[in-house]
Structure 1
Amino acid sequence: MKKSSATSVNRKNDIIAAAIEVFAEQGYYRATTAQVAERAEISQPYVFRFFSTKEKLLVEALEASWIRIIEAFQKIVASAPGNELEQQLITVYADIMNAHRNEIILQMQAQTIQEPAIVEVMQRRFHEIHEMVYQAFEKAGIERPLERTLLFLARGMLCNISMSLNLPELMKTED
């Protein structure tokens, strides 16, 4: 890859990272591309060089956040023994939540945005996670794999709420 191509890819990634932060902090509708540009330490026209609209920038930011989860889950699904599968998925998701809090907040906010492109990303990626976990649970011989998949996803959503509201007691269980 030429140096200018590598620099261009890095700048695009910098813009996406800045957008994740700004959108998570301000909310999509309040955030501006000027704020994203400022956070990325570039000019606003440079943002539009890569993303023709704020919505396209949000789509890419969401995709980046989902890819992180999907790739982490794929690694676990490929290597975890069946009896450790669910716990390893929970652990890796908790690690992502701790390291990439703004990505999770962004996804939570995106669930309420009714723009077709945003709805499509959210539906497609949730479906992908659901199918991956269900198939892994089924292959591992986990009893009632569909129900366990739904409970796993519901627990993930509760983890998101617990994190965003800073209410860790929502996640306490009996020992």
Structure 2
Amino acid sequence: MAKSNFTSVNRKAEIVSAAIEVFAEVGYYRATTAQVAQRANISQPYVFKFFSTKELLLLGALEASWSRVIQSFRQVIEQTSPDLLEATLIQEYENIQAMHHNEILLQMQAQTIQEEAIRQSMRNGFKEVREMVLAAFQEAGVDKAEERTMLFLARGLLCNVAVALSMPELMKR
């Protein structure tokens, strides 16, 4: 990869990281691309070089956050014995919440945004996680795999609420 392409990829990732922070802190509707640019230490026009609209920037941020969850879960599924799978997936999600708090807040906000592209991004993320976990549970021989998958997803959503509201008692096992 040429140096300029590498720099562009890095800059785009820096912009997405800054957007995740800004959107999580002030909310998507109140956030501006100028705030994102300031957080990334670049000019606002440079943000638009990569993302022509704030909605596309949010979509990029959501893609990054879903990719993290999906990649993390894939690793767990590939490296964990069937009898420890569910517990290890739960622990991994708790790790993601702790280490990438703003991404979780971003996803929570995006669940309420009515723009179709955002709704589709969220549907796609949830669908991919659901299908991956369900397939892993089925392959691992988890009893009532569909129900366990639903409970796993529901627990994740409740954990999101617990983290957002600083209510750790909602996360007790």
Is residue 150 from structure 1 mapped to residue 158 from structure 2 by the alignment? no
Aligned twin of 2:18: 18
1:134-156: CA deviation from partner (whole Å, max 9, x where unpaired): 11111111100000000000000
Superposition map of 1:51-66 within 5 A: 51-66=51-66
1:114 aligns with 2:114: yes
Encode CA deviations 1:88-118: one digit per residue, 9 max, x unaligned: 1011111111010000000000000010110
Partner deviation per Cα, 1:127-172 (whole Å, 9 max, x = no partner): 0100100111111111000000000000000110000100001122
- Structure 1 residues 1-16: aligned runs within 5 Å: 1-16=1-16
- Give 3-state SS (helix, strand or coil) of 1:106's partner: helix
Q: Distance in 2 between matches of 1:162 and 1:5?
A: 40
Q: What residue in structure 1 maps to residue 88 of structure 2?
A: 88
The answer on 1:170 being equivalent to 2:149 is no
The AA in structure 1 aligned to 2:54 is K
Q: Distance in 2 between matches of 1:97 and 1:119?
A: 21
Whole-Å separation in 1 of the counterparts to 2:145 and 2:2: 48
Amino acid at match of 2:172: K
Task: Encode CA deviations 1:40-78: one digit per residue, 9 max, x unaligned.
Answer: 000000000000000000000000000000001011111
| TM-score scaled by length of structure 2 | 0.98
Q: Distance in 1 between matches of 2:171 and 2:19?
A: 29
Q: Are residue 101 (structure 1) and residue 101 (structure 2) matched?
A: yes
2:41 alignment partner AA: E
1: CA distance between counterparts of 2:132 and 2:142? 14
Q: Distance in 1 between matches of 2:93 and 2:172?
A: 17
Aligned-partner SS, 1:141: coil
4+ aligned runs moved over 3 Å, structure 1: none
Which residue is 1:50 aligned to? 50
The aligned length equals 173
Distance 1:116 1:7 in 2: 32
Tell me, in whole angstroms, the C-alpha distance in 2 between the residues paired with 1:79 and 1:99: 21
Post-superposition Cα deviations, 1:3-61, rounded to whole Å, max 9, x if no partner, equal 11111111110000000000011111000000000000000000000000000000000
- Paired residue secondary structure (2:11): helix
Mark the runs of 5 or more structure 2 residues left unpaired by the alignment.
none
* Distance of 2:9 and 2:153 partners within structure 1: 33
Secondary structure in 1 matching 2:8: helix
TM-score using structure 1 length: 0.97
2:34 maps to amino acid: A
* CA-atom RMSD in angstroms: 0.6
Calculate percent identity across the aligned residue pairs: 61
